[in-house]
């Protein structure tokens, strides 16, 4: 099937008007839009990069400016009765990054606001303070006549996370703007603010009366992202095309898409899961490329995370494969730049997502294989001191596991282990080896699981590559201990406990390895038949 004959995909389209004019596929979210826009409300929504926040903002802009002009055939067409056209100001704070001094930011921010508010009649005059003039202008507007849409509100802050002084200056200046909105609340018909992170001291949440944070609302858990039902309804022909291209059954393709791109949860009951739109759309546009890591390649590593990692180290690799816990009020609350937790930040950035809620505790983990792989690559970057796996001579572990023998795998793993900066990992134990090898395999896009249970025990690490299922048992030998004895222990343990034998549909490869604490590499190995 030729994809050129199908309805166009909304790839990179952030303009709702352009999307509708071009007759691109639009997954109808307008019932949510109606629910929000029908009230005289003020809302805040936090979501990761590349999840459609800008398109949502654009849809609100079109609705309040032009009514139902761009909504023909959508759910809201039958629901929306408001025939007024409002004064709409759309602000994209991604355009006002503090790239120089604070004074330069201040001037650029004022100029940007001036330009945007001019569109609804604001005229700056004389040398009076800009904020005073804007406040007077808003005070003169009729009640409920202004719609204000703010996209990426947190960008000016996250861009200077590594400069505490500039951060404080920018934060305080932004607070003045939000205070103006508070004092002119009467003019506001609708306010919608989006971002990735939620900072407590920007004064948004205290300065604006009754600002409703819908970031974890069960009512809006599927507002952004695609549900399984939506994928099958709106992209049915693309599914068929991809299935034909990759020569896999449609059901199997859906399972693969679920494993790679699904699993994002944005609501506090942990029941609604959505797929990443950016990844799914790029896959459908070029299915012959396979299931690539589109989200991470295109900005899944947002500036808030990049800036944070400049002055903070990642958690110990021991934490990579473990479920993380944090207080639910941390997810729904606010963060100070001085106290950003890595788990909270990674959850806001989309690297971790809600898996379950127990009481007042949220348990979070990687949503899918794409993000799991991206996160492993961040760990590898730190473990290898900025070098790549190829640069240290380790090669392609995924290919080796799928095609080569146990001895080749042994040598490859040692190439990797020799490249690790062990100075950062002084408290070394057997489970450290598990984590290092798990991250190495996960960084190559493989699903690597530690401590896999059966009715007799649990294996150290299991990895699938191609039509093979590898089972690893690791032993740590200290100075003076016998590597041969440790190897025999591992062999006996694997045989007696039948590790990995349940995967009957795959070729089972079982391997015992002994790691020398002195030499920092594997010194003995055996394949268990």
Strands of the sheet with 188-195, listed across from one edge = 87-92, 146-151, 188-195, 42-46, 211-213
Cβ partners under 8 Å of residue 495, min gap 6: 528
Q: Phi-psi category of 364—alpha, beta or left, where left has phi over 0 and alpha has psi -120 to 50?
A: beta
d(CA 185, CA 469): 61
User: Is 253 contained in some domain?
Assistant: no
User: Is 515 contained in some domain?
Assistant: yes
56 phi, psi to nearest 5 deg: -65, -45
Q: What is the mean pLDDT of the chain?
A: 90
Q: What is the pLDDT of residues 205-234, one digit of tens each?
A: 676 767 899 999 999 999 999 999 999 999
Which residues, in sequence order, are bridge partners of residue 45? 194
End-to-end CA distance of the chain: 45
Q: What is the pLDDT of residue 55?
A: 98
User: Is 156 contained in some domain?
Assistant: yes
Q: What is the pLDDT of residue 209?
A: 67
Number of structural domains, the chain?
A: 2
Question: For residue 119, what pLDDT band results from cuts at 50, 70 and 90?
Answer: very high
Angle formed at CA 131 by CA 125 and CA 136, multiple of 5 degrees: 70
448 phi, psi to nearest 5 deg: -115, 120
Q: Is 446 helix (H, G, I), strand (E, B) or coil?
A: coil
Buried/exposed 307-334: b ≥16 CB within 10 Å, e otherwise = bbbeeeebeebeebbeebebebebbeeb
CB atoms within 10 A of CB 15: 17
User: Is 113 contained in some domain?
Assistant: yes
User: Is 369 contained in some domain?
Assistant: no
Asked if residues 160 and 170 have their Cβ atoms less than 8 Å apart, the reply is yes
| Poorest-pLDDT segment among 44-58, 93-107, 121-135, 218-232 | 121-135
The predicted model gives 446-474 an average pLDDT of 91
Mean pLDDT highest for which of 94-103, 142-151, 334-343? Answer: 142-151
User: Is 491 contained in some domain?
Assistant: yes
Q: Which of 220, 254, 276 is the last residue of a domain?
A: 220
* pLDDT for residue 304 is more than 80: no
d(CA 122, CA 134): 8
d(CA 411, CA 422): 19
User: Is 45 contained in some domain?
Assistant: yes
CATH code: domain of residue 202: 3.30.370.10
Percentage, residues of the chain above pLDDT 90: 65
Residue with token string 């949860």: 265
Q: Is the dihedral of CA 12, 17, 18, 22 positive or negative?
A: positive
* pLDDT for residue 332 is more than 90: no
Q: What is the pLDDT of residues 399-455, one digit of tens each?
A: 999 999 999 999 999 999 999 888 877 777 888 899 999 999 999 999 999 988 888
| Poorest-pLDDT segment among 199-203, 368-372, 470-474, 486-490 | 199-203
Q: Which of 194, 220, 246 is the last residue of a domain?
A: 220
DSSP label at residue 478: -
User: Is 337 contained in some domain?
Assistant: no
Q: Which of 189, 220, 251 is the last residue of a domain?
A: 220
d(CA 57, CA 61): 6
Q: What is the pLDDT of residues 139-150, one digit of tens each?
A: 999 999 999 999
Q: What is the pLDDT of residue 446?
A: 92
Q: What is the pLDDT of residue 188?
A: 95
The predicted model gives 320-337 an average pLDDT of 74
CATH code: domain of residue 410: 3.40.1350
Burial (CB < 10 A; 0-12, 13-18, 19+), residue 151, is buried
Q: Domain limits at 518?
A: 384-528
């Amino acid at each position: 099937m030729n994809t050129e004959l199908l309805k166009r995909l909304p790839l990179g389209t952030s303009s709702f008007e352009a999307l509708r004019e071009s007759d691109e596929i639009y997954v109808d979210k307008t019932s949510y839009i109606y629910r929000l826009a029908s009230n005289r409300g003020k809302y805040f929504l936090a979501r990761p990069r590349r999840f459609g926040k800008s398109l949502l903002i654009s849809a609100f802009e079109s609705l309040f400016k032009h009514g139902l002009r761009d909504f023909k055939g959508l759910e809201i067409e039958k629901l929306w009765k408001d025939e007024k056209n409002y004064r709409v100001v759309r602000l994209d704070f991604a355009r006002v990054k503090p790239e120089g001094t604070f004074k330069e930011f201040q001037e650029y921010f004022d100029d940007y606001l001036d330009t945007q508010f001019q569109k609804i009649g604001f005229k700056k005059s004389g040398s009076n303070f800009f904020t005073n003039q804007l406040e007077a202008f808003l005070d003169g507007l009729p009640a409920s006549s202004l719609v204000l849409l703010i996209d990426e509100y947190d960008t000016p802050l996250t861009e200077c996370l590594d400069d505490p002084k500039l951060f404080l200056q920018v934060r305080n200046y932004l607070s003045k703007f939000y205070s103006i909105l508070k004092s002119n609340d009467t003019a506001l018909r609708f306010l919608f603010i989006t971002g990735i992170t939620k900072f407590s001291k920007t004064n948004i949440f205290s300065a604006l009366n009754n600002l409703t944070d819908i970031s974890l609302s069960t009512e809006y858990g599927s507002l952004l992202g695609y549900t399984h039902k939506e994928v099958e309804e709106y992209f049915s022909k693309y599914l068929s095309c991809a299935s034909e291209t990759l020569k896999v059954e449609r059901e199997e393709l859906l399972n693969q898409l679920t494993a790679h791109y699904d699993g994002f949860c944005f609501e506090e009951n942990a029941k609604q899961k959505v797929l990443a739109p950016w990844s799914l759309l790029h896959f459908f546009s070029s299915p012959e490329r396979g299931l690539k890591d589109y989200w991470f390649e295109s900005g899944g590593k947002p500036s808030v995370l990049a800036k944070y990692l400049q002055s903070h180290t990642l958690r110990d690799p021991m934490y990579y494969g473990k479920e993380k816990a944090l207080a639910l009020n941390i997810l729904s609350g606010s963060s100070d730049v001085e106290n950003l937790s890595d788990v909270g930040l990674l959850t806001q950035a989309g690297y971790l997502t809600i898996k379950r809620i127990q009481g007042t505790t949220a348990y979070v983990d990687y949503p899918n294989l794409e993000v799991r792989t991206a996160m492993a690559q961040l760990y590898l970057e730190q473990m290898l001191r900025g070098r790549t796996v190829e640069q240290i001579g380790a090669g392609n572990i995924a290919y080796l596991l799928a095609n080569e023998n146990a001895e080749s795998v042994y040598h490859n793993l040692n190439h990797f282990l020799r490249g690790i900066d062990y100075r950062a990992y002084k408290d070394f134990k057997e489970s450290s080896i598990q984590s290092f090898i798990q991250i190495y395999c996960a960084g190559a896009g493989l699903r690597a699981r530690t401590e896999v249970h059966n009715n007799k025990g649990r294996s150290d690490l299991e990895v699938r590559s191609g039509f093979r299922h590898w089972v690893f048992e690791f032993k740590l030998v200290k100075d003076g201990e016998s590597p041969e004895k440790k190897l025999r222990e591992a062999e006996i343990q694997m045989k007696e406990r039948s590790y990995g034998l349940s995967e009957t549909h795959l070729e089972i490869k079982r391997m015992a390895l002994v790691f020398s604490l002195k030499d920092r590499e594997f010194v003995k190995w055996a394949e268990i038949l």
